[in-house]
A = this chain, B = another copy of it.
Amino acid sequence: MRVLVTGAAGFIATNLIPRLLERGEEVFGVDNFFLGKRAYIEPFLSDKRFHFEEFDLLDLDRVVKLLEKARPDLVWHLAANSDISYGTKYTDFDLKGGTIVTYNVLEAMRRVGTKQIIFSSSGAIYGEPTVMPTPENYGPLFPISLYAATKVACETLMTAFAHGYDIRCWMYRFGNVVGPNSTHGAIHDFVLRLRENPRELTVLGDGTQAKPYVYIDDCLEGMEFGYNKAKELVNCYNLAVDDQTTVTEIAEWTIETMGIDRRKVELKYTGGSRGWRGDVPQVQLDTRRMTQLGWTPKLSSRESVRRTIREVAEQFRNGPLT
């Protein structure tokens, strides 16, 4: 199979690509290295079945040219701003890097005739739901961040292109996905900050924010399981775990894992119930539809977080990768 991966140097893609290559697939990747990192994609560049291009997906002509060359059977559309708080500073960041880029990918697929796309959506689209755990058919969708607004916009572009141009889509609304090759997030930040200064750790909000953390391998297995099993025109699933982890737990476990004396670290909370404006402090996703499809994650949220802390602390032992 020929596969195109957008956001190829990012967190999810650089965990996905080795799986695809091991399976013998021909993989085309594209990234602009805005959030993605060269160090993460370096290991695959020597593989003859991996073809990488560096450019910005905002350039529709180049996206079309790439698809004309790659002629993919399937697009893993993983390019996105995954750093939610960034979009609060630059209000057009998610619109451009999310909505317009996703339009470009779908439009290029339409022109070239590619008929399958897997998309990384987010549980953030539910905003602050009154039903928890939140099922896929929850409404109304009133997201509270531009990041989440863009994810909804991308989902609806998927469903419109699906119905208009017979492009089958698999959309996964993630909990927080964690694992090696991180580019952002609480574990990523805590490890790097404690490395710089093991005496003090700033924690956004009051630390009680609780989310379901999914380990990257579970996430990828779930996405592939859904792709192989669910064959509607539009396939949309929450992809998460059933327990939650708080930010304070992540801070405590990171300190412990890095072998730092807890008594010598001051946790400084910025206060308030949210990490930032637009942050959804309590997230619980109803995962029953994935379970009914036949898939369950191997690791709990607690296990995913603890394992990721060890892996990220090891990966960043000499500082952040670029």
> Is the Cβ of B164 less than 8 Å from the Cβ of A278?
yes
Which residues on B sit within 8 Å (CB–CB) of A153? 99, 149, 152-153, 156-157
Interface-forming stretch among A34-42, A87-95, A265-273? A87-95
Which residues on B sit within 8 Å (CB–CB) of A157? 95, 146, 149, 153
A145 beta carbon closer than 8 Å to chain B: yes
Contact of A149 among B138, B159, B277 (CB under 8 A): B159
Which residues on B sit within 8 Å (CB–CB) of A142? 155-156, 159, 234, 236
Residues of A within 8 A of B (CB): 88, 91-92, 95, 99-100, 103, 107, 110, 125, 127, 136-146, 148-150, 152-153, 155-157, 159-161, 163-164, 234, 236, 277-278
A146 to B156, CA, bound (A): 8
- The 6 nearest A-B residue pairs measured at CB: A139-B139, A153-B153, A149-B156, A144-B163, A149-B160, A142-B159
> Is the Cβ of A141 less than 8 Å from the Cβ of B139?
yes
Q: List 5 A-B contacts (CB under 8 A).
A: A91-B110, A146-B164, A149-B157, A149-B159, A164-B278
- Can you name 16 extra interface pairs (CB under 8 A) apart from A138-B139, A163-B278? A95-B100, A137-B140, A139-B139, A140-B236, A142-B156, A143-B159, A143-B160, A144-B160, A145-B164, A146-B160, A149-B156, A149-B157, A152-B152, A152-B153, A152-B156, A163-B277
A138 to B163, CA, bound (A): 19
> Is the Cβ of B127 less than 8 Å from the Cβ of A159?
yes
Chain B residue nearest to A137 in the complex (CB): B139
Query: Could you tell me the dominant secondary structure of chain A's interface residues?
Result: helix
A103 to B125, CA, bound (A): 18
- Most chain-B CB neighbours within 10 Å: which of A136, A159, A236? A159
Which residues on B sit within 8 Å (CB–CB) of A107? 91-92
Chain B residue nearest to A127 in the complex (CB): B159
Which residues on B sit within 8 Å (CB–CB) of A140? 136-139, 236
> Is the Cβ of A144 less than 8 Å from the Cβ of B164?
yes
Which residues on B sit within 8 Å (CB–CB) of A91? 103, 107, 110, 164
A146 to B157, CA, bound (A): 7
> Is the Cβ of A103 less than 8 Å from the Cβ of B95?
yes
A125 to B155, CA, bound (A): 12
> Is the Cβ of A103 less than 8 Å from the Cβ of B92?
yes
Known: A103-B95, A278-B163. A156 touches B141 (CB 8 A): yes
Smallest distance from the beta carbon of A98 to chain B beta carbons, Å? 10
Which residues on B sit within 8 Å (CB–CB) of A160? 143-146, 148-149, 278
Smallest distance from the beta carbon of A244 to chain B beta carbons, Å? 22
A138 to B107, CA, bound (A): 28
> Is the Cβ of B137 less than 8 Å from the Cβ of A156?
no
Smallest distance from the beta carbon of A116 to chain B beta carbons, Å? 17
A277 to B164, CA, bound (A): 6
A252 to B8, CA, bound (A): 57
